[in-house]
Amino acid sequence: MKRDQALEVLAQRHPDGIVVAVYQSAFDWIGIRPHDLNYLCTGAMGQASSHGLGLALGAPHEKIVVLDGDGSLLMNLGSLVTIAAQKPRNFYHFVCQNSTYEVNGNFPIPGADRLRFDNMARAAGYPHAFSFRDLNQFEAKIDQILRLAGPVFINLHVEPGVSYPRIYEKLHSAKARSAFRRALYRRMIRKEWLWQMQQPIKFYSRPILDVSDKKLIHAVKS
Protein backbone atom coordinates (compact mmCIF):
# COMPACT_ATOMS: atom_id res chain seq x y z
CA MET A 1 0.00 0.00 0.00
CA LYS A 2 1.10 3.59 -0.51
CA ARG A 3 2.25 5.26 2.68
CA ASP A 4 0.40 8.52 2.08
CA GLN A 5 -2.87 6.65 1.49
CA ALA A 6 -2.44 4.64 4.67
CA LEU A 7 -1.69 7.83 6.61
CA GLU A 8 -4.76 9.52 5.10
CA VAL A 9 -6.86 6.67 6.48
CA LEU A 10 -5.26 7.05 9.89
CA ALA A 11 -5.73 10.83 9.82
CA GLN A 12 -9.47 10.38 9.28
CA ARG A 13 -9.68 8.10 12.31
CA HIS A 14 -7.30 10.04 14.56
CA PRO A 15 -7.86 13.62 13.41
CA ASP A 16 -7.13 15.46 16.60
CA GLY A 17 -4.86 13.33 18.78
CA ILE A 18 -1.23 13.10 19.75
CA VAL A 19 1.07 11.56 17.13
CA VAL A 20 4.78 10.84 17.45
CA ALA A 21 6.14 10.40 13.92
CA VAL A 22 9.59 9.92 12.41
CA TYR A 23 11.39 10.55 9.15
CA GLN A 24 9.48 10.15 5.88
CA SER A 25 6.37 9.12 7.77
CA ALA A 26 6.69 12.35 9.77
CA PHE A 27 7.10 14.47 6.64
CA ASP A 28 4.07 12.82 5.05
CA TRP A 29 2.09 13.00 8.27
CA ILE A 30 2.63 16.72 8.91
CA GLY A 31 1.65 17.36 5.29
CA ILE A 32 -1.49 15.24 5.62
CA ARG A 33 -2.43 16.26 9.15
CA PRO A 34 -0.76 19.49 10.23
CA HIS A 35 -1.45 19.87 13.95
CA ASP A 36 0.22 21.24 17.07
CA LEU A 37 -0.17 17.82 18.68
CA ASN A 38 2.32 16.32 16.23
CA TYR A 39 5.32 15.49 18.41
CA LEU A 40 8.42 15.63 16.25
CA CYS A 41 11.43 13.86 17.69
CA THR A 42 13.32 13.06 14.52
CA GLY A 43 17.06 13.15 15.09
CA ALA A 44 16.78 10.88 18.10
CA MET A 45 16.64 7.91 15.76
CA GLY A 46 14.86 4.92 17.28
CA GLN A 47 13.44 6.85 20.22
CA ALA A 48 9.91 7.47 18.95
CA SER A 49 8.42 4.50 20.77
CA SER A 50 10.21 5.44 24.00
CA HIS A 51 9.05 9.06 23.77
CA GLY A 52 5.57 7.80 22.93
CA LEU A 53 5.61 5.55 25.99
CA GLY A 54 6.49 8.52 28.18
CA LEU A 55 3.59 10.48 26.72
CA ALA A 56 1.23 7.53 27.12
CA LEU A 57 2.12 7.15 30.79
CA GLY A 58 2.00 10.91 31.42
CA ALA A 59 -1.26 11.45 29.56
CA PRO A 60 -3.23 8.27 30.24
CA HIS A 61 -6.49 9.76 28.95
CA GLU A 62 -5.08 10.43 25.49
CA LYS A 63 -4.58 7.93 22.67
CA ILE A 64 -0.90 8.07 21.71
CA VAL A 65 -0.12 7.06 18.13
CA VAL A 66 3.50 6.36 17.19
CA LEU A 67 4.48 6.27 13.51
CA ASP A 68 7.82 4.51 13.63
CA GLY A 69 10.21 3.64 10.80
CA ASP A 70 11.50 0.09 10.32
CA GLY A 71 15.12 1.27 10.41
CA SER A 72 14.34 3.31 13.50
CA LEU A 73 12.61 0.51 15.38
CA LEU A 74 15.54 -1.80 14.64
CA MET A 75 17.74 0.65 16.56
CA ASN A 76 15.57 0.39 19.67
CA LEU A 77 13.99 -3.06 19.64
CA GLY A 78 14.29 -3.25 23.42
CA SER A 79 11.56 -0.64 23.66
CA LEU A 80 9.06 -3.33 22.59
CA VAL A 81 9.79 -5.21 25.78
CA THR A 82 9.65 -2.08 27.95
CA ILE A 83 6.34 -1.02 26.40
CA ALA A 84 4.81 -4.47 26.77
CA ALA A 85 5.89 -4.55 30.42
CA GLN A 86 4.40 -1.11 31.12
CA LYS A 87 1.10 -2.07 29.41
CA PRO A 88 -0.02 1.43 28.36
CA ARG A 89 -3.67 0.97 27.37
CA ASN A 90 -3.57 4.13 25.27
CA PHE A 91 -0.55 3.23 23.10
CA TYR A 92 -0.81 2.45 19.35
CA HIS A 93 2.51 1.62 17.74
CA PHE A 94 2.52 1.78 13.95
CA VAL A 95 5.59 0.91 11.90
CA CYS A 96 5.90 1.97 8.28
CA GLN A 97 7.87 -0.95 6.91
CA ASN A 98 9.36 0.23 3.63
CA SER A 99 12.48 -1.97 3.94
CA THR A 100 14.80 1.00 3.49
CA TYR A 101 16.34 3.94 5.29
CA GLU A 102 14.35 6.07 2.92
CA VAL A 103 15.26 9.58 3.96
CA ASN A 104 18.96 9.09 3.66
CA GLY A 105 19.15 7.50 0.30
CA ASN A 106 16.92 4.43 0.29
CA PHE A 107 19.64 2.15 1.59
CA PRO A 108 18.25 -1.32 2.36
CA ILE A 109 17.75 -2.24 5.99
CA PRO A 110 19.23 -5.57 7.08
CA GLY A 111 17.01 -8.65 6.89
CA ALA A 112 14.19 -6.76 5.21
CA ASP A 113 12.86 -9.82 3.39
CA ARG A 114 12.51 -11.84 6.60
CA LEU A 115 11.56 -9.29 9.23
CA ARG A 116 8.21 -9.82 11.00
CA PHE A 117 7.82 -6.90 13.36
CA ASP A 118 4.34 -8.02 14.37
CA ASN A 119 5.79 -11.35 15.55
CA MET A 120 8.52 -9.51 17.43
CA ALA A 121 5.94 -7.32 19.16
CA ARG A 122 3.86 -10.36 20.08
CA ALA A 123 6.93 -12.15 21.42
CA ALA A 124 7.81 -9.07 23.46
CA GLY A 125 4.38 -9.20 25.07
CA TYR A 126 2.13 -6.81 23.12
CA PRO A 127 -1.36 -8.23 23.54
CA HIS A 128 -2.37 -7.23 20.00
CA ALA A 129 -0.24 -7.14 16.86
CA PHE A 130 -1.31 -6.77 13.24
CA SER A 131 0.34 -6.58 9.86
CA PHE A 132 -1.18 -5.16 6.68
CA ARG A 133 -0.09 -5.06 3.05
CA ASP A 134 -3.42 -4.07 1.61
CA LEU A 135 -4.95 -0.64 2.07
CA ASN A 136 -8.56 -1.87 1.98
CA GLN A 137 -7.89 -4.45 4.65
CA PHE A 138 -6.21 -1.83 6.80
CA GLU A 139 -9.09 0.56 6.31
CA ALA A 140 -11.61 -2.13 7.21
CA LYS A 141 -9.86 -2.92 10.50
CA ILE A 142 -8.51 0.42 11.75
CA ASP A 143 -11.59 1.52 13.74
CA GLN A 144 -11.64 -1.75 15.63
CA ILE A 145 -7.88 -1.52 16.25
CA LEU A 146 -8.12 1.98 17.71
CA ARG A 147 -10.79 0.76 20.12
CA LEU A 148 -8.56 -2.02 21.50
CA ALA A 149 -6.84 -1.54 24.84
CA GLY A 150 -3.14 -1.14 24.17
CA PRO A 151 -0.39 -1.57 23.71
CA VAL A 152 -1.28 -2.37 20.12
CA PHE A 153 1.24 -2.94 17.34
CA ILE A 154 0.36 -2.31 13.70
CA ASN A 155 2.87 -3.05 10.97
CA LEU A 156 2.17 -1.39 7.63
CA HIS A 157 4.02 -2.67 4.59
CA VAL A 158 4.33 0.53 2.60
CA GLU A 159 5.89 1.98 -0.48
CA PRO A 160 6.25 5.68 -1.16
CA GLY A 161 3.19 7.34 -2.66
CA VAL A 162 3.04 11.09 -2.67
CA SER A 163 6.17 11.89 -0.70
CA TYR A 164 5.72 15.16 1.11
CA PRO A 165 8.63 17.62 1.24
CA ARG A 166 11.38 16.95 3.73
CA ILE A 167 11.20 20.08 5.84
CA TYR A 168 13.84 19.32 8.44
CA GLU A 169 13.61 22.82 9.94
CA LYS A 170 10.06 21.99 10.97
CA LEU A 171 11.05 18.66 12.47
CA HIS A 172 13.86 20.18 14.49
CA SER A 173 12.16 23.43 15.38
CA ALA A 174 11.97 24.63 18.96
CA LYS A 175 8.79 26.46 17.93
CA ALA A 176 7.07 23.17 17.03
CA ARG A 177 8.13 21.71 20.37
CA SER A 178 6.73 24.59 22.38
CA ALA A 179 3.55 24.57 20.27
CA PHE A 180 3.20 20.89 21.15
CA ARG A 181 3.69 21.58 24.85
CA ARG A 182 1.10 24.36 24.87
CA ALA A 183 -1.38 22.28 22.88
CA LEU A 184 -0.94 19.43 25.33
CA TYR A 185 -1.63 21.68 28.34
CA ARG A 186 -4.69 23.08 26.64
CA ARG A 187 -5.92 19.57 25.97
CA MET A 188 -5.26 18.56 29.56
CA ILE A 189 -7.14 21.58 30.85
CA ARG A 190 -10.00 21.15 28.38
CA LYS A 191 -10.40 17.51 29.27
CA GLU A 192 -10.06 18.37 32.93
CA TRP A 193 -7.74 15.56 33.81
CA LEU A 194 -5.01 18.00 34.75
CA TRP A 195 -6.81 18.59 38.05
CA GLN A 196 -6.46 14.94 38.96
CA MET A 197 -2.68 15.18 38.88
CA GLN A 198 -0.96 15.48 42.22
CA GLN A 199 2.49 16.51 41.02
CA PRO A 200 3.76 19.50 39.06
CA ILE A 201 4.51 18.62 35.45
CA LYS A 202 8.24 18.57 34.84
CA PHE A 203 10.36 19.08 31.78
CA TYR A 204 13.54 17.25 32.68
CA SER A 205 13.83 18.22 36.34
CA ARG A 206 12.40 21.73 35.97
CA PRO A 207 8.76 22.12 36.99
CA ILE A 208 6.96 23.85 34.17
CA LEU A 209 3.41 23.66 35.33
CA ASP A 210 2.24 23.45 38.87
CA VAL A 211 -1.37 22.38 39.15
CA SER A 212 -1.78 24.72 42.07
CA ASP A 213 -0.52 27.67 40.01
CA LYS A 214 -3.82 29.15 38.82
CA LYS A 215 -2.11 32.17 37.23
CA LEU A 216 0.03 29.98 35.02
CA ILE A 217 -2.93 27.80 34.09
CA HIS A 218 -4.88 30.90 33.17
CA ALA A 219 -1.98 31.96 30.91
CA VAL A 220 -1.92 28.59 29.20
CA LYS A 221 -5.69 28.61 28.77
CA SER A 222 -5.77 32.00 27.13
Binding site for ligand TPP (CB under 6 A): 22-25, 43, 45, 69-72, 98, 100-104
6 and 138 in contact (C-beta within 8 Å)? Answer: yes
- The minimum distance between CB 36 and ligand TPP, in angstroms, equals 22
Beta strands in 41-126 (DSSP E): 64-69, 91-97, 100-101, 107-108
Q: Which residue lies nearer to ligand TPP by CB, 73 or 188?
A: 73
Q: Which residue lies nearer to ligand TPP by CB, 43 or 165?
A: 43
- The minimum distance between CB 23 and ligand TPP, in angstroms, equals 3
Q: Rounded to an integer, what is the distance from CA 83 to the centroid of its chain? A: 13
Contact residues for 103 (Cβ-Cβ < 8 A; gap 6+):
23, 24, 27, 166
- The minimum distance between CB 12 and ligand TPP, in angstroms, equals 22
Q: Which residue lies nearer to ligand TPP by CB, 98 or 155?
A: 98
- The minimum distance between CB 115 and ligand TPP, in angstroms, equals 11
Contact residues for 203 (Cβ-Cβ < 8 A; gap 6+):
181
92 and 154 in contact (C-beta within 8 Å)? Answer: yes
Q: Which residue lies nearer to ligand TPP by CB, 5 or 210?
A: 5
